[in-house]
Amino acid sequence: MEPKPPQASFTVLTEMIFPNHANALGTLMGGQLLYWMDVAAAIAAYRHSQRICVTAAVDYVSFRSPIRVGELLTIEAYVTRAFHTSMEVYLKVFAQALPSNEKRLSNEAYYTFVAIDQSGCPIPVPPVVPETEEEKRQYEESLRRREMRLIAAGKLDPAAASTLKLK
């Protein structure tokens, strides 16, 4: 399969925060943000694989600063690395208080998607060829993140993890 750069999957999703997205304090609900992140990550995974993709895992997500009603939310997502049938997607979330042009980084996360066929069986996806320094760093580090999440899911014996040094 022809390798693809992360730029091929780069996705930007922009939303305005309305009262129906917020809690009683007028700040964005965490679950709503996770939903939009899932959508952005799914589009990035689809752009990379050109296949139907399902969410296999969501890594630890922390909400650094509240996003308020009336603010703009921008999510950037791209595939950092493809393994066999799975892809790791890196997401950055920015908030912007209008009319300022200044964006503040709200949070970052990694989602894992698996490409599936019409029967729901995992199918291979093209490899990723990182180009920029940041993409190369993300690519290298993704193997360790993958092993950590597979250990957490009970799908990998820690002793078999190549990036963990166990005594």
Ligand X SMILES: CC(C)(COP(=O)(O)OP(=O)(O)OC[C@H]1O[C@@H](n2cnc3c(N)ncnc32)[C@H](O)[C@@H]1OP(=O)(O)O)[C@@H](O)C(=O)NCCC(=O)NCCS
- CB nearer to ligand X: pick between 58 and 72: 58
- Residue 115 contacts residue 45 (beta carbons within 8 Å): yes
**Binding positions for ligand X, 76-115, rule CB under 6 A:** 83-86, 112, 114
Among 40, 41, 56, 73, which residue sits at the site for ligand X (rule: CB under 6 A)?
56
Among 57, 75, 77, 95, which residue sits at the site for ligand X (rule: CB under 6 A)?
57
**Binding positions for ligand X, 141-160, rule CB under 6 A:** 149-150, 153, 155
CB 163 to ligand X: min, Å: 15
- Residue 95 contacts residue 72 (beta carbons within 8 Å): yes
- What is d(CA 35, CA 14) in angstroms, rounded to the nearest whole number? 13
Helices and strands of the chain, counted as H and E runs: 2, 5
Q: Does 55 bind ligand X (CB under 6 A)?
A: yes
- CB nearer to ligand X: pick between 16 and 153: 153
- CB nearer to ligand X: pick between 37 and 114: 114
- CB nearer to ligand X: pick between 49 and 112: 112
- Residue 163 contacts residue 147 (beta carbons within 8 Å): yes
CB 121 to ligand X: min, Å: 8
CB 166 to ligand X: min, Å: 20
- DSSP labels for 82-127? E-SSEEEEEEEEEEE-TT---EEEEEEEEEEEEEE-TTS-B---PP
- Residue 142 contacts residue 97 (beta carbons within 8 Å): no
- What is d(CA 146, CA 166) in angstroms, rounded to the nearest whole number? 17
CB 139 to ligand X: min, Å: 14
Query: Which residue ranges make up the site for ligand X (CB under 6 A)?
Result: 54-57, 83-86, 112, 114, 116, 122, 149-150, 153, 155
